[in-house]
Chain A
């Protein structure tokens, strides 16, 4: 149970963390993905920069446009925080489904984003939420979206000097309903498929929809065609069923030893349908 040797340093500020970073370094946040990989010797690193002491990374705040969540926010905090639950119930719900209680107590939003697991609940949620991801590096500040950040399974554009500092998520609007649903093989596991949906309904018709599917393909994907197709149509169960039927046009599911591509596509269809129905119901609720 020993990782290959490395040097450990604890940063007190963003500037310090970024300044120490180099080609053979990694940031250590919750450690819930990085330490298993190091322990199993599936990864190695020269310098580990602990960012857990950087208080400003853990802040949660909001302005008129958006909720801002610090990268060091633990999954558990995200799931329970009153502001988050009000401003972005979808994000809170997604966080409550990550891993087991111990993992949620320690794992972080920034870590989840940087880890870029194809089935990560939080990344799927952020994708549906059109979230912006703030990153600091020696070159200054950068802002990404999930699609501009993700390259593939466990792969992002982030260089080792780039520290995710926070995420901005637009407030849920009054006409908007949100839902997050998933199927996992065991309580506390990564989802086989997860779906995040947002739905705006005006006068009984879909004004706008945002749908993200995680776990099915090599990375979480937005169903842009389906979103466009839904627009203007009469909201209700028949539409959600019809929407489900179109999911396979856009989801290029990949199979693995745990679930075949066909089953993942099927689950995507079922879950999109359910997420839309649930988002419709969730509209009034705040």
Chain B
């Protein structure tokens, strides 16, 4: 157990963290942030994706203590315009069925669009390669992301 501090969705989190707790486990079991899902624990499914200093990473392959001093964002973070636009497009397209992959999917899509990703479907498919979905066949997810890319003003 070691005192660790990081910013989570705009708030400072400080607490005793077990050295061996993954960030996913800590967020879920200690902080009740159940919007971070756990599907495999081996970095494959992407359900546990969070933004660490803005980058989508598998929180099951990070230790909670490695977040020390970092900014962690989950899908529950206050949404900026782009996040909002994506969320709305996901709803419009019914890009979630069971919804278990959705938080990770949305954060990956957010980083993709923000990073200047293109609207063509092969590029989107490659960007989503680490986020598995068993329900939708990805089609509506890709449709939703493509729609946002083509309407969202690129930054900078």
Query: A: which residues have CB within 8 A of B?
Result: 1-8, 10, 28, 31-32, 35-36, 38-40, 48, 50, 52, 99-103, 105-106, 187-188
- Which partner residue on chain B sits nearest A6 by CB separation? B20
Contact with A along B92-123 (1 / 0, CB 8 A): 00000000000000001000000000000000
Contact with A along B58-98 (1 / 0, CB 8 A): 10111101101000000000000000000000000000000
Which of B19, B24, B127 makes the CB contact (< 8 A) with A8? B19
- Which partner residue on chain A sits nearest B64 by CB separation? A8
Q: How far is the CA of A28 from the CA of B19 in the complex (A)?
A: 13
Query: B: which residues have CB within 8 A of A?
Result: 2, 18-22, 24-25, 38, 41-43, 46, 49, 55-58, 60-63, 65-66, 68, 108, 126-127, 129-130
Residues of B contacting A31 in the complex (Cβ-Cβ under 8 angstroms): 61-63, 66
Which of B43, B55, B56, B129 makes the CB contact (< 8 A) with A35? B43
**Do residues A4 and B24 form an inter-chain contact, with CB atoms below 8 A?**
no
- Which partner residue on chain B sits nearest A34 by CB separation? B61
Residues of A contacting B46 in the complex (Cβ-Cβ under 8 angstroms): 100, 102
Assess A1 versus B22: contact at CB under 8 Å? Given A40-B42, A100-B129, A102-B49: yes
Assess A100 versus B66: contact at CB under 8 Å? Given A1-B22, A35-B22, A35-B61: no
**Do residues B57 and A106 form an inter-chain contact, with CB atoms below 8 A?**
yes
13 interchain pairs, CB-CB under 8 A: A5-B19, A6-B20, A8-B2, A8-B20, A31-B62, A32-B43, A35-B62, A38-B20, A48-B63, A50-B66, A100-B130, A106-B58, A106-B61
**Do residues A187 and B20 form an inter-chain contact, with CB atoms below 8 A?**
no
Assess A187 versus B25: contact at CB under 8 Å? Given A2-B20, A40-B42, A106-B57: no
**Do residues B43 and A36 form an inter-chain contact, with CB atoms below 8 A?**
yes
